[in-house]
């Protein structure tokens, strides 16, 4: 089920790792238990390790969040009332009076072809009679019958309406002064007047205040090719409604301004401020009508509610994050460049895993953890702390994981080995997938750097893939105009990492890790991107003053 416009979207960073995904899932679950509507989100494909962990504990992948801005599909719209192009003006008017909004005209394939508004209809009611004459000339006889709630007595195969209407008032001179050729004639229950109108080549006789027509009138009408209709209204309403019997296809607006349901609210509002219409059709991917939008909907649209977990930098976050309604940040990294226009709950804690913080929030909210959720959180902490071997690991991470393992009734050592053996294989991954497995972007001075990490039980398994990886890394760095792309593969069995690099400024990596080379795998006692890799790269850049 899709989230509502008021739902809170809990999301981790781009190229999500296990900690990011699990934090989003478990924090959204906590919010729901506290009576708020929240939905877990992700900003990219999950890696093999995360997929294995989710499957093991029975959790679904979060939904994809492409942008923090609201689209038209995520806000309240007016339901569109549709009609076909053969609907009469009279029928359209009755419907508009009832629903108080315009009508969308669709063809047999459900595609939008026009819009009928009160302005279109008023132009007929109050406009020049020349337009009404032109329209009536195109109107089929059966449409006139339908609009007048009348009865068709006779209709020739070919009608010859010229669009002009005469209302006969029988006087002393009878019909001598009337020019009726090819006209529609409204006449009362007067047989002589009816016969005279037909003799004067009327194209259509509309008889009011009568339920029958004399046989001689019908016979003459057939001989002269004159249609006969018994009206269901009196003279005044017959003459009024007659001009409303035309199909709307002749009066509808066709030069429409339409929007896609996937367009962003702010973009649409900017466009609407430059036009004058009251409402606009919103279309789906098949260009079928999705709803109607007006300035009211846009001006009253809420911003998308966002909670960030496991990051607090714009470059790592969802598109348009600063244009959403940012409510909270739960993180354990350095303070980045996220800014807000109002105070928010910002929790940045010196621990090795965001899920350590999430577990604490369950305790603080007095929400008991079930076995599945406790196991999921424990697995994420093991993943992000590299089974507590990362220098970012704190006693809080260890104690929290031990407590979660007891709730889940899982031995930590067995769970850790299971995760890293089953979740981090290279066999089923392309070089591009390995690069993007868990990669983050950083801006250090004037340099654009991306650092990716993959945890393996034995990092030496990378060697057969090294040549293909380096080719893919060169292309990846060029496409993204990176000064440095650095990948490191952490072997948990020996607690060391092997490095590969690409980009325009390889000297940054070479100087940061003395002895690093792409010619062979060289291992260093480095396992943390946050506490070891990035500080080393930053120190080299700042030390060189480049």
pLDDT of 171 strictly over 60: no
> Domain end: 392, 422, 452, which one?
422
Q: What is the pLDDT averaged over residues 138-143?
A: 94
Q: What is the mean pLDDT of the chain?
A: 92
Look-up of token digits 């976050």: 317
Is 322 within a domain? yes
CA dist 260 to 5, 21, 49, 127, 289, Å?
17, 30, 37, 34, 10
Same domain, 265 and 309: no
Residue 545 pLDDT: 59
The tens digit of pLDDT for each residue in 430-465 reads 999 899 888 999 999 999 999 999 888 888 889 999
Same domain, 437 and 478: yes
* CATH number, domain containing residue 532: 3.10.310.20
Angstrom distance (rounded) from CA 358 to CA 25? 10
Is 514 within a domain? yes
Is 241 within a domain? no
- Structure tokens belonging to residue 404: 């979660």
Q: What is the pLDDT averaged over residues 45-74?
A: 94
Domain enclosing residue 386, as ranges:
8-70+304-422
Angstrom distance (rounded) from CA 332 to CA 328? 13
Q: Which long-range contacts (CB under 8 A, 24 or more apart) does 128-132 make?
A: 132/163, 132/243
Whole-structure pTM value: 0.70
Residue 426 pLDDT: 76
* CATH number, domain containing residue 110: 3.10.580.10
The tens digit of pLDDT for each residue in 199-258 reads 999 999 999 999 999 999 999 999 999 999 999 999 999 988 998 999 999 999 999 999
Residue 48 pLDDT: 85
Same domain, 537 and 463: yes
Same domain, 146 and 44: no
Strand order in the sheet with 103-106: 81-83, 103-106, 112-116
């Amino acid at each position: 089920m899709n989230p509502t416009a008021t739902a809170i979207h809990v999301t981790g960073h781009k190229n999500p790792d296990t900690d990011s995904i699990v934090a989003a899932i478990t924090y959204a679950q906590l919010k729901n238990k506290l009576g708020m509507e929240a939905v877990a989100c992700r900003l990219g494909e999950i890696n093999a390790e995360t997929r294995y962990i989710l499957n093991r504990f029975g959790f679904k992948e979060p939904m994809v969040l492409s942008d923090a801005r609201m689209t038209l599909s995520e806000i309240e719209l007016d339901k569109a009332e549709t009609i076909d192009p053969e609907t009469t003006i009279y029928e359209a008017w009755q419907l508009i009076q009832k629903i108080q909004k315009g009508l969308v005209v669709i063809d047999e394939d459900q595609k939008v072809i026009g819009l009928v508004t009160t302005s279109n209809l008023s132009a007929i009611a109050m406009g020049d009679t020349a337009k009404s004459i032109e329209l009536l000339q195109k109107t089929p006889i059966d449409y006139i019958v339908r609009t007048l709630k009348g009865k068709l007595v006779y209709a020739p195969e070919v009608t010859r309406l010229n669009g002009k209407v005469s209302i006969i008032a029988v006087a002393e001179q009878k019909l001598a002064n009337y020019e009726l050729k090819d006209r529609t004639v409204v006449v009362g229950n007067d047989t002589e007047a009816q016969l005279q109108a037909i003799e004067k080549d009327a194209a259509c006789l509309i008889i009011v205040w009568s339920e029958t027509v004399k046989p001689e009138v019908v016979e003459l009408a057939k001989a002269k090719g004159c249609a006969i209709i018994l009206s269901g209204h009196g003279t005044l309403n017959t003459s009024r409604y007659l001009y409303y019997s035309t199909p709307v296809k002749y009066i509808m607006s066709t030069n429409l301004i339409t929007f896609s349901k996937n367009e962003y609210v702010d973009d649409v509002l900017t466009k609407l401020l430059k036009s004058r219409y009251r409402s606009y059709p919103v279309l789906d991917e098949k260009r079928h009508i999705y709803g109607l939008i007006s300035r009211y909907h846009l001006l009253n649209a809420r911003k998308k509610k966002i909670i960030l977990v496991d990051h607090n930098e714009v470059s790592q976050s969802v598109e348009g994050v600063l244009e959403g309604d940012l409510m909270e940040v739960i993180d354990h990294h350095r303070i980045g460049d996220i800014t807000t226009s109002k105070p928010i709950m910002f929790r940045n804690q010196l621990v090795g895993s965001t899920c350590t913080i999430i577990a604490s929030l369950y305790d603080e909210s007095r929400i008991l953890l079930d076995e599945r959720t406790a196991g999921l959180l424990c697995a994420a902490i093991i993943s992000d702390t590299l089974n507590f071997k990362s220098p970012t690991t704190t006693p809080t991470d260890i104690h929290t994981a031990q407590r979660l393992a007891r709730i889940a009734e899982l031995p930590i050592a067995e769970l850790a080995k299971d995760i890293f053996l089953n979740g981090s294989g290279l066999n089923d991954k392309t070089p591009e997938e390995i690069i993007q497995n868990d990669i983050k972007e950083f801006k250090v001075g004037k340099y654009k750097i991306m650092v990716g990490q993959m945890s393996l039980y034995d990092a030496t398994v990378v060697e057969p893939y090294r040549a293909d990886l380096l080719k893919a890394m060169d292309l990846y760095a060029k496409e993204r105009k990176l000064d440095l792309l650095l990948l490191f593969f952490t072997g948990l069995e020996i607690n060391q990492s092997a490095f590969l690099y690409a980009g325009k400024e390889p000297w940054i990596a070479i100087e940061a890790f003395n002895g690093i080379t792409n010619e062979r795998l060289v291992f260093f006692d480095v396992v943390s991107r946050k506490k070891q890799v990035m500080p080393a790269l930053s120190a080299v850049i700042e030390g060189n003053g480049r």
